[in-house]
Amino acid sequence: MAGRAPLYEGILVEHGTRPRNFRPMPCPDCQSQAVNPLCGDELVMCFRMNGDVIEEATFQGHGCAVAKASASLLTEAVRGKSKAKALALHDRLRASLESDSDAPAGRDGLDEVTALEAVRAYPLRLRCATLAWEAMAAALTSTAPGQRLGHEPGDG
């Protein structure tokens, strides 16, 4: 692994240190919290919906640069997308991050979150990168607001 690309570069550091849409949302239509006890990350993702379309996404909480950058990129990437498209983006991102293949085929449609690709070389940080997305998936698929996702230590 001597030659792996640095994790902290460009967009990831930029979004990690100066995250977009990092603010509370009064009365969100749906929200969910995700916790990663391995590193103390705790993110709350909030969404304002217009019918089936995400009108606005914000997040709060604390986390490492990877988790914050991922949440920040998420809030920008899903704005204006339908629920189904946002969830599909999550699936594609996860499949890409978990894939061993370097072939670009699996990364179609990930332009908006391409900075997260660096995490592929850092398997122990995968959870950090997917935390916000898991919270989003829970928020968008749950009817009950304020759902909390807990994870056992060692699950990622």
- CA dist., res. 81 & res. 40, Å (int): 30
CB atoms within 10 A of CB 87: 17
Closest to another protein by CB, 57 or 128: 128
Task: Using CB under 8 A, pick the residue from 45, 65, 89, 138 that binds another protein.
Answer: 65
Task: Using CB under 8 A, pick the residue from 20, 21, 31, 42 that binds another protein.
Answer: 42
HSE (side-chain half, CA atoms, 13 Å) at 87? 11
- CA dist., res. 48 & res. 139, Å (int): 11
Decide if residue 6 touches another protein (CB under 8 A): yes
Closest to another protein by CB, 42 or 86: 42
Q: Which residues bind another protein (CB under 8 A)?
A: 1-2, 4, 6-8, 13, 16-17, 37-42, 62-67, 122, 125, 128
